[in-house]
Amino acid sequence: MELTTETIQTLAKVMSEENLTSLAIDQGNLKIELKREIGSAQPATVLSGNFPEAGIQPVLAEVKTTTAEATEKTIDANWKEIKSPMVGVFYQSSQPDKPAYVKTGQHFEAGDTLCIIEAMKLMNEITAETAGTIMEVCVGNGQVVEFGQVLYRIQEGN
């Protein structure tokens, strides 16, 4: 199999038609891995091998992915969401070797630092507006977050 623009376009077309998020091909010295993001997480299928154009049929293998439906958590209607006020990188602590500011189940007071979001080389502390308890941490340490993305789900009050 020769790696040409046509081949890549064919692979992209197969991914789109089959609604794949990942495609890997390994043929000796030729290894191709393509990934794409889809609006909402979906189960992925990996194709390995070659395509009919090259005379070999693809081999399909199911890959388990975590989807919102698969990891549904019970969310109480009384919980409030703390959302990111900016685009940046989410950090749970001030330094990698320091403990997280807050963890699931932990109580916090108004004004307590909950996390840091790094934006344009500036470290922005995100503080609590009210007292409450962390019910769910919704993003991972070092993850890029978008404006308005849910960082925490909390239960307000003492």
Sheet holding 107-108, edge to edge: 80-83, 150-156, 132-137, 107-108
Distance from first CA to last CA of the chain, Å, rounded?
A: 64
| Residue 75 resides in a domain | no
Tens-place pLDDT, residues 16-74: 777 777 777 777 776 777 776 655 444 444 444 444 444 444 444 444 444 444 344 55
| Residue 47 resides in a domain | yes
Tens-place pLDDT, residues 92-122: 999 989 999 999 999 999 999 999 999 988 9
pTM over 0.75: no
| Residue 72 resides in a domain | no
Range of the domain at 28: 5-63
Domains: count for the chain:
2
For residues 45 and 106, membership in a common domain is answered with no
